[in-house]
């Protein structure tokens, strides 16, 4: 009998926890097993596979390349099982299905909510979750099956080997400030003028922060002096309205909130160009709800008018 036919969900959970802790005794204690039983199970699994999963060292276990490859699939299977359980539970409560979305700071503020609103005209009973975060982390969640789509500014550091990327629209970054900021309303602002102000900054590793660093480097200016770090757009807007801090946003989101008087956009000489796109798993099953959301996103991007309403 093939080892895959004997493998159970509980065993996948044990393997994932063992990979995380890299320690037999800690894993055994957490999962309510004895260490000898866990050691025996691991030895039998390695025998079935015909390859070592861990290197035994005095300080613990070191995963092999075989283990790292197996863990990727184990996490995906477990995530899919959990998503299936959640979908069945939500459908039993009257929903038409579930959709898990991830979005970066650049897209979560307006574009993705607009796409969700359009989807709800077709599927008013759909249950949608939206998580905001850094693209690299969300791309990994997408690979593991925890998310159906991720929308945001494309980051060259994100590997798309198992993912599909659809570019949606160009979007240059903009430096933003509160409406009463000393630099607000000036017809031209030099990058050197921003040096005296602190920043509400995105976390290290976010694409917008990288693009801001590029703009400052091109202008021969030092990196931003981040005084408040947040990945949330609403906390950023609130901070800008109460301080003389500066922030950075995608151009279209900035225009949306500027048109409504929440912020001001600084007229700086921007050198770079960015793009917002949608990531999905290449091997993902295309359910009617997923297909409908993808079509909503693509139609909004093609229309190009969502940021002006």
Q: Which SS3 state, helix, strand or coil, does residue 304 take?
A: coil
Question: What contacts 291, CB < 8 A, 6 or more positions away?
Answer: none
**Is the domain of 197 the same as that of 245?**
yes
**Is the domain of 212 the same as that of 193?**
yes
Rounded Cα distance between 94 and 165, Å, is 32
Question: What contacts 57, CB < 8 A, 6 or more positions away?
Answer: none
**Is the domain of 9 the same as that of 154?**
no
Rounded Cα distance between 213 and 198, Å, is 14
Number of domains present in the structure of the chain:
3
**Is the domain of 16 the same as that of 162?**
no
Count the helices and strands in the chain (H runs, E runs).
Answer: 12, 12
Does residue 82 sit within a domain? no
**Is the domain of 53 the same as that of 108?**
no
**Is the domain of 199 the same as that of 163?**
no
Helix spans in 123-264 (H): 135-143, 207-218, 233-242, 251-259
Does residue 85 sit within a domain? no
In tens, the pLDDT along 242-266 reads 999 999 998 988 998 999 999 999 9
Q: Which SS3 state, helix, strand or coil, does residue 229 take?
A: strand
pLDDT above 60: residue 268: yes
Q: What is the CATH number of the domain that holds 261?
A: 3.40.190.290
**Is the domain of 259 the same as that of 145?**
no
In tens, the pLDDT along 72-127 reads 888 878 877 877 777 777 677 766 688 999 998 778 878 999 999 999 999 998 89
**Is the domain of 196 the same as that of 251?**
yes
**Is the domain of 217 the same as that of 139?**
no
Does residue 250 sit within a domain? yes
| Mean pLDDT, rounded, of the chain | 87
Last residue of a domain, one of 73, 103, 134: 73
**Is the domain of 116 the same as that of 130?**
yes
Does residue 204 sit within a domain? yes
Using the CB atoms, write b or e for 221-243: b if 16+ within 10 Å. beebebeeebbebeebbebbeeb
pLDDT of 1 = 46
In tens, the pLDDT along 18-59 reads 998 888 888 888 888 888 988 888 888 888 888 899 998 888
Burial (0-12, 13-18, 19+ Cβ within 10 Å), 103: buried
Does residue 270 sit within a domain? no
The pairing of beta strand 163-170 with beta strand 199-201? unpaired
In tens, the pLDDT along 128-182 reads 999 988 888 899 889 888 899 999 888 766 666 678 999 999 888 999 999 999 9
Which among 232, 254, 124, 116 is positioned nearest to 178, based on CA atoms?
A: 254
Rounded Cα distance between 50 and 107, Å, is 46
Query: For residue 210, what are the domain limits?
Result: 173-265
Helix (H), strand (E), coil (C) string for 233-284:
HHHHHHHHHHCCCEEEEEHHHHHHHHHCCCCEECCCCCCCCCEEEEEEECCC
The pairing of beta strand 173-177 with beta strand 226-229? unpaired
Last residue of a domain, one of 38, 73, 108: 73
**Is the domain of 36 the same as that of 165?**
no
pLDDT above 50: residue 308: no
Per the model's pLDDT, the better-predicted residue between 278 and 84 turns out to be 278
**Is the domain of 180 the same as that of 106?**
no
Rounded Cα distance between 117 and 111, Å, is 10
Give the whole-number percent of the chain exceeding pLDDT 90: 41
Does residue 81 sit within a domain? no
Rounded Cα distance between 118 and 114, Å, is 6
Rounded Cα distance between 89 and 224, Å, is 47
Q: What is the CATH number of the domain that holds 280?
A: 3.40.190.10
Q: What is the CATH number of the domain that holds 18?
A: 1.10.10.10
pLDDT of 309 = 40
Does residue 141 sit within a domain? yes
Q: Which long-range contacts (CB under 8 A, 24 or more apart) does 69-76 make?
A: 70/15, 71/15, 71/16, 71/19, 72/143, 72/144, 74/12, 74/15, 74/16, 75/16, 75/144, 75/145, 76/143, 76/144, 76/145
Does residue 104 sit within a domain? yes
In tens, the pLDDT along 136-150 reads 889 988 988 889 999
């Amino acid at each position: 009998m093939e080892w895959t036919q004997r493998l159970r969900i509980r065993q996948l959970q044990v393997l994932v926890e063992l990979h995380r802790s890299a320690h037999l005794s800690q894993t055994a204690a957490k999962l309510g097993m004895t260490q000898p039983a866990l050691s025996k199970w691991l030895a039998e699994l390695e025998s079935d596979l015909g390859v070592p999963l861990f290197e035994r060292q005095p300080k613990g276990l070191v995963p092999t390349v075989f283990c790292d490859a197996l863990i990727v699939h184990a996490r995906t299977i477990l995530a899919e099982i959990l998503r299936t359980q959640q979908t069945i539970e939500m459908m039993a409560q009257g929903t038409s299905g579930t959709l898990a979305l991830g979005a970066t700071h650049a897209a979560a503020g307006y574009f993705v909510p607009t796409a969700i609103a359009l989807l709800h005209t077709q599927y008013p009973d759909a249950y949608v979750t939206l998580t905001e975060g850094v693209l690299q982390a969300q791309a990994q969640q997408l690979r593991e099956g925890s998310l159906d789509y991720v929308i945001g500014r494309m980051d060259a550091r994100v590997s798309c080997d198992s993912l599909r990327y659809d570019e949606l629209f160009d979007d240059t970054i903009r430096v933003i400030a509160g409406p009463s900021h000393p630099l607000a309303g000036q017809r031209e602002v030099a990058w050197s003028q921003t040096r005296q102000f602190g920043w509400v900054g995105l976390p290290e590793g976010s694409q917008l922060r990288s693009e801001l660093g590029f703009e400052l480097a091109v202008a021969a200016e030092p990196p931003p002096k981040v005084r408040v770090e947040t990945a949330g757009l609403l906390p950023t807007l609130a901070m800008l309205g109460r301080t003389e801090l500066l922030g950075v946003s995608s151009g279209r989101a900035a225009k949306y909130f500027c048109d409504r008087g929440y912020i001001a956009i600084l007229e700086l000489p921007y050198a770079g160009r960015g793009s917002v796109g949608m990531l999905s798993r290449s091997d993902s099953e295309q359910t009617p709800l997923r297909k409908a959301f993808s079509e909503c996103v693509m139609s909004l991007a093609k229309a190009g008018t969502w940021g002006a309403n």
